A and B are shown apart, each in its own frame.
Chain A
Amino acid sequence: MSKLNRRDFLKWSALITAASVAGFDFALPESLQAVEVDNWVKSVCRYCGAGCGLYIGVKGGKVVAVKGDDKNWNKGFLCVKGSYLPKILDAPDRSKYPMVKEKGKWKRISWDEAMQLMISKFAEAIKKYGPHSVGFYGSGQSYSEESYLANKLFKGAIGTNNIDGNPRLCMASAAVGYVTSFGKDEPMGCYDDINYADCFFIIGSNMSEAHPVIFRLIMEQKRKRNVKIIVVDPRKTVTARNADLYLDFIPGTDLYILNAMAHVIIKEKLYNPDFVNKHCVFKRTNPDGKIEKVTFEDYLKFIEEYTPEMAEQKSGCPKEKIIQAARWFATSKATMSFWCMGINQRTRGVWANNLIHNLHLLTGQICRPGATPFSLTGQPNACGGIRDVGLLAHLLPYGRLVANEKHREEMERFWGVPKGRIHPTPGPTAVELFRKFEAGEIKCIWIVCTNPGQSLPNVDRYRKGMAREDTFLVVSEAYHPSRTSELADLVLPAALWCEKEGTYGQSERRYQYLPQVIKPLGEAKSDFEVILTFARGLLTALGREEEAKKLFPYKNSEEVWDEIRACSKDTVYNFWGMTRARLIKEHGLLWPFPSEDYPAPGTLRRYTAKYGDPLLKKFDPQAEDISFYGNPADGNKAVTWLRPAVGPAEPADKDYPFILTTGRLIEHWHTGTMTMKVPELMRAAPHAFVEINPKDAEKLGIKTGDKVKITSRRGSIVLPAKVVDIPRPGVVFVPFHYPESLINSLVTDAFDALSKQPEYKISAVKLEKA
């Protein structure tokens, strides 16, 4: 690439992006891929939860190139962000030294000074106010070994559940959706199902921009087999434009559509009575909050009112489209669903997840190749490092729950800590954690590898809390200043991606190893090393030196990985066989993976003996084939939920007549700390904007480029308008990537009662020409 002139370079950039958006089977010619390197090292992309395999090209101790791993699931393809990964490593704002804020000014200090300061502050708070005066906010981007250590420290050693992770903001509803429908978290299917599905039901996901390489696989099938694609989304995204059937609707009314699809499936007798009888129970939550088991007949009565006509009236989506979607879903040979933040970031996110699962259960479109409900993941280790490891305020590792006494005892035994050490009450979740920090109840918080000063909803409120002078905020970050590190008292420079080693667990239960390829920049250290040093130092400062040695004896991250494998061994996650050696050798392994000689790539499909789940007979010896063995309380059956359609927390009204929805662009990732260091990506998408439908723009006299003031009940922001036929009338869209335009300051922090995930996707706003 370095031999290209600037014009050719931009042309190729446009081309690669277009190819990845459209799922076009296209790669750079060999001549343009030729980059001189000393060696290529197998690794994984740093960005989304898809988990694209890649090779890192190193020359003279520097990363100079990446190329896709053609033996991994992504078949050698990367998206435009992944293609430019080398450029994130030596950005000018990389954090190189520990920095402390003194009288509002940053001062460089040594690592020893930094750790002493941090340990003394946390120890002082614990001694004075008890264990719940400190907290930790982790990340779906940390390696599993790092998150496991932090979880062990806070829950197992300090004895507080004041520990949550940013997947609370993006995946909590999906996780609780799987748990409430199937007993345990994580998808049962895999990317390979794309090769077998002949109907794709994509709801609340702009896959072509947010997960372009997975979307490429779908488009490949579209070209080869003419599969059907249904897209349900209030924005006519590129994903929607590639659909055979596009259902657009008023944000927040999709629960009507999902229930109406179930209504059509029942009315037209398109459901699978044999599957329902064998594998489903039915439940509802009563007004008093109690869960009640009901009958199929009760479900029929419940679903009766959700006619396509009623759904059309509520959602604005034509009934004919709802009926067609239901028919295709039910009658295809195999239907695969995908969803992401449009479903999860909602006050009824768990219910929406349950309703998607309902469609698969009613029709038996599950547990066979191509038939599966598949939640897409936003971050590279949200599944492996947070959901699986249990770095959430209510969780313990591998499906165990804080609130379950037996699970607490299991983990206390496993960690070798006294009975009763793990606090029985789930801790505060992301928004609640920062509310407690804002209120001064939590005195010290450590934020690792994430940027809540930009990404929390209603963010101005929590930024004020983070900036309090009487609390202590530590931020471990690869870049400084970020919108969070600027508020910190202490910033610890973090090694980034291939500057450290560890394990990622991604969307399809795929675990992959990322080796350290180069040295960290400046004095940056891996979060693994820093958490380990802090854990030992803190326990010593609390007079528990022996416990520090016993609980944190590790010499390297492989020893922690071995402990993690052992921790998974007797659970439904069992990946005991995924030794570091196997992970280094293979191109990703899917759990369950119970033995060291278990064949790669592991278990493609769970809950079905016929398609190779190795744990099914262990957990349900009587099962003939399918068993939802994560749910023994319901006889290893899945739950079809009676979930009424309920609207958003903040619908549009006469004062705030538009719905603001936020999301991603293909060029950027999350809060932009990495992608905005890549000049090519910045040139392609340089600043925030507000998408407005042409009909709304005409009424308001707004043209593309005009400055528009967007106001919600929480604040205002001025952005240039992009008048475009993408959002439906009444809806405006703003990307959330841009640090100088904090759109999250306008977004409601109302959250789902079950998952505690905030409703980023729906906030009422008004627009004025600025």
Chain B
Amino acid sequence: MLYLGVIIEVEGEEAEKALSALPFLSLYARKENQLLGVIELKSLSEWQEIEEKLQSIPGFLGLSILSSYVT
């Protein structure tokens, strides 16, 4: 498993709602337009699919991976 600590930039409340429903993402805190969260994935091969899902959410502006923990 891979755990990625991320900052996600969003615009509007709706984007946060949609993101919080994603099974691979846990959100923990918000400051202005930045959300702090963790993405959990089995391997990096899932990454493209995850990125596509994130990009498809209205109000999703961008994502920065800031840490990674592997088991």
- Chain A residues near B (Cβ < 8 Å): 6-7, 10-11, 13-19, 21-22, 24-26, 80, 223, 238, 241, 666, 680, 683-684, 686
Contact = CB atoms under 8 A, between A and B. Distances in A.
B28 A15 contact: yes
Classify the secondary structure of B's interface with A. Answer: strand
B31 to A, nearest CB: 6
B36 A14 contact: no
8 contacts: A10-B1, A10-B3, A15-B28, A15-B37, A18-B5, A22-B34, A22-B36, A26-B28
Contacts of A223: 31-32
A84 to B, nearest CB: 12
A131 B70 CA distance: 53
Interface string B6-44: 110000000000000000001011011010111010000
Contact of A683 (B29, B36, B66, B69): B69
Contact of B26 (A6, A11, A13, A80): A11
A238 B6 CA distance: 12
A683 B70 contact: yes
A471 B26 CA distance: 58
A18 B67 contact: yes
Classify the secondary structure of A's interface with B. Answer: helix
Contact of A14 (B5, B31, B32): B5
6 nearest CB pairs, A to B: A18-B5, A17-B67, A18-B66, A14-B5, A14-B3, A21-B66
Contact of A19 (B1, B5, B68, B70): B5
B64 interface: yes
A22 B64 contact: yes
Contact of A26 (B4, B32, B36, B67): B36
Interface of B: 1, 3-7, 26, 28-29, 31-32, 34, 36-38, 40, 64, 66-71
Contacts of B4: 14
B3 A11 contact: yes
A223 B29 CA distance: 14
A681 to B, nearest CB: 10
Contact of B36 (A13, A24, A238): A24
A18 B31 contact: no
B7 A14 contact: no
Given A24-B7, A223-B32, A241-B64, A14 B71 contact: no
Given A24-B31, A223-B31, A18 B71 contact: no
A241 B66 CA distance: 11
Given A11-B40, A15-B36, A26-B36, A666 B67 contact: yes
Contacts of B71: 6, 10, 683
A80 B68 CA distance: 12
Given A10-B71, A24-B7, 15 more contacts: A6-B71, A14-B69, A15-B38, A17-B69, A18-B36, A21-B66, A22-B7, A22-B64, A22-B66, A26-B28, A26-B36, A80-B67, A223-B31, A223-B32, A666-B67
Given A19-B36, A22-B36, A24-B7, A14 B67 contact: yes
B5 A17 contact: yes
Contacts of A684: 67-70
Contact of A7 (B1, B31, B68): B1
Contact of A17 (B1, B32, B37, B66): B66
A25 B66 CA distance: 15
A14 B4 CA distance: 6
Nearest to A80: B67
Q: Which of B6, B31, B37 gathers most chain A CB within 10 Å?
A: B31
B20 to A, nearest CB: 15
B1 to A, nearest CB: 7
Contacts of A238: 64, 66
